[in-house]
Homo-oligomer: A and B are copies of this chain.
Amino acid sequence: MTKIRDIAKRAGASIATVSRVVNGSGYVSAGMRARIEAAVRELDYRPNAGARAMRSGSSRMVGVLLPALDVHFFGILAHTVEQALFARGYQAMICSTAESPEHEAAYVGAMLAQQVDGVIMAAVASDGAGVGRLVAAGVPIVAVDRALPGLAAVAVDHHAGGRMLARHLLDLGHRAIGVVGAPDHSAPVQERLAGITAELAGAGLAPVAVRLGAEHGFEACRALADALLGEVLPTAIIGTTDMAAIGAIHAAAGRGLVVPRDLSVIGFDDLPAARYTIPQLTTVAQPVREIGQAAVERLLALMEGKPALPPPVLALRLVERGTTGRV
């Protein structure tokens, strides 16, 4: 590794002067600056991040704690957060807890050890302990996707989303509506379910059946929906995520039901996968990319001690495609 001393030697300057040009601080003569910049280029010099963080107190790193990267929603979120951070000169430290409390604890520890300047965390199942340590250490935090008590949050109104889901079906004349969702420990899923129930209640109805599962993979969702259809036959099924809805479509097909003629299906998220089925999935879209960007903006404001930004307007949008129809 080439270090600041090597550059100083090569450019015939002192390390202080090199530091000045590298950091653009203080006065340096044009000639000296040119010589130093040349040396930096030739030796591909990178100031050691650890030493720099130690000295300056800032690591220019932001921790990003997500439940999983292999769930497409979080992969997309991680991507946008990371790009937004990069554009602002920060480095993302992306961690995926695999929904395990031990992993979460370990990662929180790693973030503390890395002296991250801030943390963006999304939907970690078992919060509490981890968040507490971060807060205790005075690290600025922004919650994404799901709110965390006492913390700034950037999340869509999942309850309102649930209402939209139910409302759309109600408007189409459906009265017998089932709900399928996973993972059941996810707060957003629970909130959407509450929204659905509330909207239905407004029409004097209740879901004819609700099936929540722990696993959010395709096969688990399909099985869940299949079990529901084996018990009652609603005219419509709401998936609390696109994944659940896609599972429902398959369960319906497995039972010889034609979507949307025999059964309407609607999802939530509008992931790319919502367009993969035929007919394509009707769903309520949440603006993942805006969520990521807003979270970064908010965190940076917090880190810079700026006045708290007003909560972002995150619009939910009903995307009518082919899986819902009049009863």
Contact = CB atoms under 8 A, between A and B. Distances in A.
Interface of A: 1, 44, 46-54, 59, 68-72, 74-76, 78-80, 82-83, 86, 91-96, 98, 103, 106, 109-110, 112-115, 133, 136-137, 217-219, 246, 249-250, 253, 272-273, 275-278
Tally of this chain's copies:
2
A69 B75 contact: yes
Contacts of A52: 50, 113
Nearest to A138: B1
Contacts of A74: 75
Given A78-B69, A79-B96, A96-B82, A46 B109 contact: yes
Given A69-B82, A76-B70, A218 B49 contact: no
Contacts of A98: 79, 83
Contacts of A79: 68-70, 96, 98
Contacts of A273: 273, 276
Contact of A53 (B50, B110, B112): B50
Nearest to A80: B70
Contacts of A59: 50
A217 B112 CA distance: 37
Given A52-B113, A78-B96, 18 more contacts: A1-B137, A44-B112, A44-B133, A46-B109, A46-B112, A49-B113, A50-B114, A51-B54, A68-B79, A69-B75, A70-B79, A72-B75, A75-B75, A75-B78, A86-B103, A91-B110, A246-B276, A273-B273
Contacts of A72: 72, 75
B49 A115 contact: yes
A272 B217 contact: yes
A296 B185 CA distance: 31
Nearest to A94: B94
B136 A44 contact: yes
A-B pairs with lowest CB-CB distance, top 9: A75-B75, A50-B50, A70-B79, A69-B79, A49-B113, A46-B113, A70-B76, A46-B112, A94-B94
Contacts of A44: 112, 133, 136-137
Nearest to A132: B44
A55 to B, nearest CB: 9
A263 to B, nearest CB: 14
A93 B86 CA distance: 13
B276 A114 contact: no
Contacts of A69: 69, 75-76, 78-79, 82, 94
24 contacts: A1-B115, A44-B137, A46-B109, A46-B112, A46-B113, A48-B54, A49-B114, A49-B115, A50-B53, A50-B59, A54-B54, A68-B79, A69-B69, A69-B76, A70-B76, A70-B79, A71-B75, A75-B78, A78-B96, A91-B110, A92-B94, A218-B272, A218-B276, A250-B278
A139 to B, nearest CB: 10
